[in-house]
Structure 1
Amino acid sequence: MTADARTGKAESSVGQDRVRIDGPLKVTGTAPYAFEQPVENPLYLFPLTSTIAKGKIRRIDAAAARAVSGVVDVLTHENAPRLLAKTDAELYLLQSPDVHYFGEYIGAVVAESQEIARHAAGLVRVEYVAEAEDTAFRPGHPGEYNPKKINTGKPADTQQGQLEEGLAQAVVTVDEVYTTPYEHHNPLEMHSITATWDRERLGGVLGVLGERPRLQIYDASQGVSFVRLMLAPLLGLLPQQIEVISPYVGGAFGAKGIPHAQVMLAVLAAKRLPGRPVKYMLTRQQMFRSVGHRLTTHQRFRLGAAADGTLTAIAHDVSQSSSRLKQFAEQTVNATRHLYAAPNRQTTTRMVPLDIGPATFMRAPGEFPGMFAQETALDELAVRLGMDPIELRLRNKPDTDPESGKPHSSHYLNECLLEGARLFGWQERKAPGERQAGEWLYGMGVAAATYPRQMTVPTKASVRFAGGRYVVSIAAADLGTGAWTALTQIAADALQVSQNEIQLQLGHSDLPFAHLAGGSTGTYNWGSAVMVAAVKFRSQYGQTPAEGDEAEGSAYFPDESKKYVLDAYGAHFAEVKVSRVTGEVRVTRMLGVYDGGRIINPRTANSQFIGGMTMGISAALHEESYLDSRPGYGHVVNSDFAGYHIAANADVPDVQARWIEHPDPMFGPTGAKGIGEIGIVGVPAAIGNAIYNATGKRLRELPFTPDKLVE
């Protein structure tokens, strides 16, 4: 906070456009990421991975690898350190000869250089006893099961009213199937880790009391506090014996939310070589094997409506893939339970168990595939009713939450739709096939977006006065989202000082415990903790603190917030052109208008919104992981950027974000809602609806590749 030179009044830092604090380090290449952290005398790891999808290892011959000059160790299930507790099946690594999926880690070579480790790993010979595997996703799978709970902890199934009666009463219905494919995270920084085992001395009144193991990890992580907590029981350590450091993360999108098998692989290798840091960075191809993915879905969506567009029934029945090793049940039906009013409702979730690697969070997990089905089905209903799709959405805004009956803390979806329509020129929209230019057909589409406030574990922050500055500490993570900058702005205002007087510390597990950077919770959750700590600091020490004065605070949400349903909203508008010759789809314009509460930093918020829309365009037009389900295979065929296509500059020529700013105090003292996910959730549906408006052809399967538009 600074003083206005004209008025002498304090100016707020929150809400102001601020350049990223970490920007200079990143553009000069001096921000150290996990693999780049300086350590003494490092070793390098290259993994051994299974080449079957299910079975057992009969024999591993590593003699040739061990004979290579520079090889220090070959790690397998035969010599790996024993883990104490199987609290996480994905991390319970190298404890048996069992193979659960293609590409699973079955060992590693550790050497003096990356090149030596990789070469020696290619010399290891593995014999298997293969078993019949099942990697083919299909609805109606004989092993399909009810997971009881989905990712948010909510029931897998819900029912209200009488669905069949509601559908029977409808004048117009929709009953269609929508599918989404496997997708894989591909952040700029691949997963990386540097692990070192050592011993620390324990002091006491009478001197040294002994020693205990100490593990230090540099990890590309969305939540260092969670890495520590998840590893401790497996390794038989106290959390305090594990130090996790991750100040900079080169993108994550959920893949780095919790530790995956590569973390444990490096930790086990380092444990056999105490005092020597072990470094491992995945190759781009390995990113498609063992660090998670977005699961594939088959979604039957049914809608019933009266002649005026009022919904009489909604049903969303989802079947989705799951690893036999570790279940991850996405909340694909979540938005359907809350977004639109209808007296008769049903949602169900079923999992198909397969011999594949575990899925994990991927930007807007659950809501992303679920909103594709819901917002496409709603567009189909609008067409059958002969009604504008925006008007249909406006007519079905619920007065209270359809599932719980609670009021909304704030709800500006209609405002987003109307403002977006005005800015986008929605009134110029034509009937399908009416707008042409040469070989190109043009169309416009719209989709709503919503994302809930997620429950978080208690987050803390501290403020300490040192060296004439306020040191604000929290074990948060910056994935490139702007946390370094936004939290500094929040701290400056809360302490009533300028940003230059704030020194922010984050990305270290020894700092006050923080919830991970996920579920669009970071800014309002971490920011709340920072504000509480700042208020306590000022209350205790006033405006002239002494060196070393310190206070700690915990994030809080008003007790009153329990009476409300808390969600962020948005509206996506897309214009596309489709070639009548090749079926190629180009997004010519895209606009997102969002209800994101208080915007802390317009610059970083705009980046988040545009990034979400760009990722949505990529999923709509390109992204699909092809899993070879033939017997004896089970791997992703297109496991590199030559085969797994992502959006490039030419795919996003004009993408803009706007917002309707209404601070929501029920989200905590910052008034901010989550914005990391809201930018992506409705994008593919908006593009698909625009394709229909251009061509009259309805696409219900992602991605929208040319073959689906060429007859």
Structure 2
Amino acid sequence: MTGTIVGQPLPRVDGRAKVTGAARYAADFNQDSQLHAVIVSATVGLGRVTAIDSARVEAMPGVVAVITHRNAPRLAYGAHKTYIDPAVGERLHVLQDDKVRFYGQPVAIVVADTLDHAERAAAALQVSYESEQPTVDPQDPRAEAIIPEAAAQPDARIPADTARGEADNALANAEVKVDETYDIARENHNPMEPHATVAAWSGDRLTLWSKSQFVVNEQAEIAAIFGIPAEHVQVNCPFIGGAFGTSLRTWPHVTLAALAARQVGRPVKLVLTRKQMFFTTGHRPRTLQRIGLGATREGKLTAVVHEGTGETSRYEQFLEALTAATGYMYSCPNVRTRYRLTPLDTGTPNHMRGPGEASGIFALECALDELSYALGMDPVELRRRNEPEIDEAEGKPFSSRSLLQCYDQAAEHFGWSRRDPKPRAMRDGRLLVGMGAASATYPAYHAPASALVRLRPDGTAEVEVAASDMGPGTYTSMTQVAAETLGLPMERVRFSLGRSDFPPAPSHGGSWTMASVGSAIRAACLAAQEEAAKLAVADQRSPVFGANVEDVEWAAGRLRRRGDQAPGQPYRDIVASAGRAIEADASAQRDPEVAHRYSMHAFGAVMVEVAIDPDVGTIRVRRAVGAYGIGRVVNPRLARSQCIGGMIGGIGMALMERTALDGRDGRPVNAHMADYLMPVNLDIPHLEAHFVDEVDPHVNPLGVKGLGEIALVGMAPAIANAVFHATGIRVRTLPIRIEDVLTS
């Protein structure tokens, strides 16, 4: 697929709508006679509700209903799981019993005529508890790690244990070794747009305007919860104001909005507060990891041991690919990984940008940096000496692997050759300057997807997919794919998403939207062209009448006989002759034989410069360069924007973000923007993103790999490695704080 549209840095087609306020988000879809709902959250971390004084609140101004486990209907909660849900355990059954499983769990919902009345009433509701002491710290002596049930299954996607060779013996006998532990804090997503749902029933049919990265799953989930057919639920989500994974699952507030709307017989709007988003909408789990590396004095790896433990709730087992990349990143004959979970009295964690890989790569890349100093070797050179020829974990060739080219490009733009290898050797006046590097990787996922294309009499094309767009530019990139395939200008294509009644698409996460949905759109466009060609060759008024379909071709949106230099017949003429719009739908999925034959991943290299004040310990990232091998780049402008966003997320992970829980009750003590620190404009340095010219014909028909996740993955270890280079102090806990680098 070659042309002048795909590959161009075109501006966002939805940009004007976003900057003028025309774009409508979930909470913007107000309905006639709408009421407002506010959740009352548990103020204990474990126990049961013993009393709720609802009578006084029900008499307050504007209050329509107070719904608790005592008067809420018993919901069906039918079986429903997708790949986005934990395979083991059961989602929270909201307001179905008196049990409190974690701090902040919904225990009631107040519905009133205005938001102000609902908030006042919710604040006044008195709830009594019989409480117990929760366990919320994986290092608490009461916490016990377990083998994840799903990970212990044969051929598990995320296995509990893997091994090749004799890693422990090789590590014990290595000429040079590093064996350290790494601790990464719990993080919360905190997108700009809070979670919100507007629910309205019409008889036994439900319409939801809801913030969702997976509208077809939200449709199926809510249908299962209420015990109604999926086609009786319509989910709409045209725009998302950031998500980073927090809206992949259907959380309890969606159920509560629908339940309240049915109970009161009127539409209900429910918007979570910032504080409530720390309770029930997932988080990046805290992880504890051990990395052991053994090597020859020449820098060849002889042993890799990676043991990781992540937190989960007691009612579900959340898995992420914490140790997955270790097996294929570098060449080593002896590798062992182990993955465990620690059930805690918290809400279930969730996928957060770069899930699993971001945390696992941090430990691996920091340990590799430590090994480079033990060897007296340049960190980049160490990685070069251990570049594998194949994926040694699976014994497969890579569909493409450009890690070394990424390092070449990053080093050139960053000026890595100017780095003094000795820690504390580089200064800018009184400031300590450090340079660090790290690798990045993420699987090139692909999921089945479908799309519909409609050719209209005015010569335009409409494309519909039940995908989502949380900000990477899905509207624009998909329009580019359709315009390129159909041979139409961008302005002649209208792409629509965010409706559950459109052709199904996978979740908008995991860096597979472009590969999956883009491939489906391409297939649907080709199907629409084929349908139009069939109509044209059978139409006596068409210049291609009587030709075989195999003997005609499309060029610049016109149909002509193959090899003919005539302008050809445009879409609008074919559609006009047909007397109706021409529609075609199609699906796309990866060839299983190709998927079995190759190991498919994106790779990247990140280089960072930090400046540290030795007197007060302030750490500032001054510049960063990332180079990525992601196959074909559909829109370089959007791709660079994605990389910058990921890098900024990596700065937050490395230096700022940490959800602190009170050990007495599990309360997030910094559940607000004053104390949950995230990068702001003044924290953002000069960031560069570059792309290796990589051709991968195996991953999908478009030749694209995901980008949103990998852009975050390597940033935190590169920063941590730069901090060591600047100070000589190795910090193995994230986020790195001022007190970690202060010297006596």
Task: Tell me which moved more, 543-552 or 119-128.
Answer: 543-552
CA distance in structure 1 between the aligned counterparts of 2:32 and 2:695, rounded to whole angstroms = 49
Distance 1:139 1:153, change over 3 A: farther
Matched, 1:688 2:689: no
1:662-694 residue CA offsets vs partner (Å, 9 max, x unmatched): 132222111110000110101110011111111
Matched, 1:606 2:637: no
The structural deviation recorded for 1:56 is 1.0
Task: Tell me which moved more, 555-564 or 496-505.
Answer: 555-564
Q: Is the 8 A contact 1:625 1:638 kept in 2?
A: yes
Give, as a single letter, the amino acid of the residue that structure 2 aligns with 1:573: M
The structural deviation recorded for 1:454 is 2.9
Q: Is the 8 A contact 1:64 1:120 kept in 2?
A: no
Match of 2:59 among 67, 71, 74: 67
Match of 1:348 among 333, 338, 346: 338
Q: Is the 8 A contact 1:169 1:312 kept in 2?
A: no
Give, as a single letter, the amino acid of the residue that structure 2 aligns with 1:182: R
The 3-state SS of whatever aligns with 1:530 is: helix
The 3-state SS of whatever aligns with 1:673 is: coil
CA distance in structure 2 between the aligned counterparts of 1:560 and 1:140, rounded to whole angstroms = 47
What does residue 261 of structure 2 align with?
Answer: 270
CA distance in structure 2 between the aligned counterparts of 1:704 and 1:17, rounded to whole angstroms = 36
What does residue 329 of structure 2 align with?
Answer: 339
The structural deviation recorded for 1:422 is 1.3
What does residue 648 of structure 1 align with?
Answer: 680
What does residue 662 of structure 2 align with?
Answer: 628
CA distance in structure 2 between the aligned counterparts of 1:620 and 1:138, rounded to whole angstroms = 21
1:239-262 residue CA offsets vs partner (Å, 9 max, x unmatched): 101100000000000000111111
Give, as a single letter, the amino acid of the residue that structure 1 aligns with 2:330: Y
Distance 1:694 1:418, change over 3 A: same
What does residue 195 of structure 1 align with?
Answer: 199
Task: Tell me which moved more, 407-416 or 140-149.
Answer: 140-149
The 3-state SS of whatever aligns with 1:272 is: helix
The 3-state SS of whatever aligns with 1:44 is: strand
CA distance in structure 2 between the aligned counterparts of 1:77 and 1:610, rounded to whole angstroms = 45
CA distance in structure 1 between the aligned counterparts of 2:586 and 2:93, rounded to whole angstroms = 35
1:53-105 residue CA offsets vs partner (Å, 9 max, x unmatched): 11111111111211012111111111112211354733421111111000001
The 3-state SS of whatever aligns with 1:337 is: helix
What does residue 24 of structure 2 align with?
Answer: 32
The structural deviation recorded for 1:40 is 1.3
Task: Tell me which moved more, 496-505 or 356-365.
Answer: 496-505
What does residue 586 of structure 2 align with?
Answer: 553
Q: Percent identity?
A: 40
Counterparts of 1:103-502 in structure 2, within 5 Å, are 103-138=104-139, 143-150=144-151, 153-199=157-203, 213-274=204-265, 276-430=266-420, 431-454=422-445, 456=447, 458-468=448-458, 469-502=460-493
CA distance in structure 1 between the aligned counterparts of 2:93 and 2:78, rounded to whole angstroms = 6
CA distance in structure 2 between the aligned counterparts of 1:593 and 1:141, rounded to whole angstroms = 44
Give, as a single letter, the amino acid of the residue that structure 1 aligns with 2:583: E
Q: Is the 8 A contact 2:168 2:305 kept in 1?
A: no
CA distance in structure 2 between the aligned counterparts of 1:627 and 1:591, rounded to whole angstroms = 34
Task: Tell me which moved more, 509-518 or 320-329.
Answer: 320-329
Q: Is the 8 A contact 2:212 2:247 kept in 1?
A: yes
The structural deviation recorded for 1:518 is 0.5
The structural deviation recorded for 1:139 is 7.5
1:467-524 residue CA offsets vs partner (Å, 9 max, x unmatched): 5221111001111110000000000111111111111110000000000111000111
What does residue 204 of structure 1 align with?
Answer: none
The structural deviation recorded for 1:124 is 1.1
1:124-181 residue CA offsets vs partner (Å, 9 max, x unmatched): 1111111232222217755310004359832111111111221134210010001100
CA-atom RMSD, angstroms? 1.5
CA distance in structure 2 between the aligned counterparts of 1:446 and 1:11, rounded to whole angstroms = 36
What does residue 6 of structure 1 align with?
Answer: none
The 3-state SS of whatever aligns with 2:124 is: coil
CA distance in structure 1 between the aligned counterparts of 2:267 and 2:240, rounded to whole angstroms = 20
Unaligned runs of 5+ in 2: 81-89, 534-558, 560-570
CA distance in structure 2 between the aligned counterparts of 1:133 and 1:187, rounded to whole angstroms = 28
CA distance in structure 2 between the aligned counterparts of 1:142 and 1:444, rounded to whole angstroms = 38
Q: Is the 8 A contact 1:321 1:354 kept in 2?
A: yes
CA distance in structure 1 between the aligned counterparts of 2:588 and 2:179, rounded to whole angstroms = 44
1:595-616 residue CA offsets vs partner (Å, 9 max, x unmatched): 0111101111110011000110
TM-score, normalised by the number of residues in structure 1: 0.94
Matched, 1:20 2:12: yes
Q: Is the 8 A contact 1:452 1:566 kept in 2?
A: yes
What does residue 709 of structure 2 align with?
Answer: 677
1:430-483 residue CA offsets vs partner (Å, 9 max, x unmatched): 121111233310010000000012352x21001112352211110011111100
Aligned residue-pair number: 686
Task: Tell me which moved more, 376-385 or 552-561.
Answer: 552-561
Distance 1:270 1:709, change over 3 A: same
CA distance in structure 2 between the aligned counterparts of 1:549 and 1:142, rounded to whole angstroms = 61
Matched, 1:581 2:615: yes
CA distance in structure 1 between the aligned counterparts of 2:485 and 2:689, rounded to whole angstroms = 28
Distance 1:86 1:94, change over 3 A: farther
CA distance in structure 1 between the aligned counterparts of 2:42 and 2:704, rounded to whole angstroms = 45
1:214-257 residue CA offsets vs partner (Å, 9 max, x unmatched): 01100111110111122222211111011000000000000001
CA distance in structure 1 between the aligned counterparts of 2:350 and 2:432, rounded to whole angstroms = 38
Distance 1:694 1:667, change over 3 A: same
Task: Tell me which moved more, 652-661 or 464-473.
Answer: 464-473
Task: Tell me which moved more, 146-155 or 345-354.
Answer: 146-155
Q: Is the 8 A contact 1:91 1:264 kept in 2?
A: no
What does residue 597 of structure 2 align with?
Answer: 563
1:341-388 residue CA offsets vs partner (Å, 9 max, x unmatched): 111111111111111111101001110111110000000000000111
Unaligned runs of 5+ in 1: 2-9, 200-212
Q: Is the 8 A contact 2:406 2:692 kept in 1?
A: yes
The 3-state SS of whatever aligns with 1:106 is: strand
CA distance in structure 1 between the aligned counterparts of 2:127 and 2:209, rounded to whole angstroms = 31
Distance 1:595 1:463, change over 3 A: same
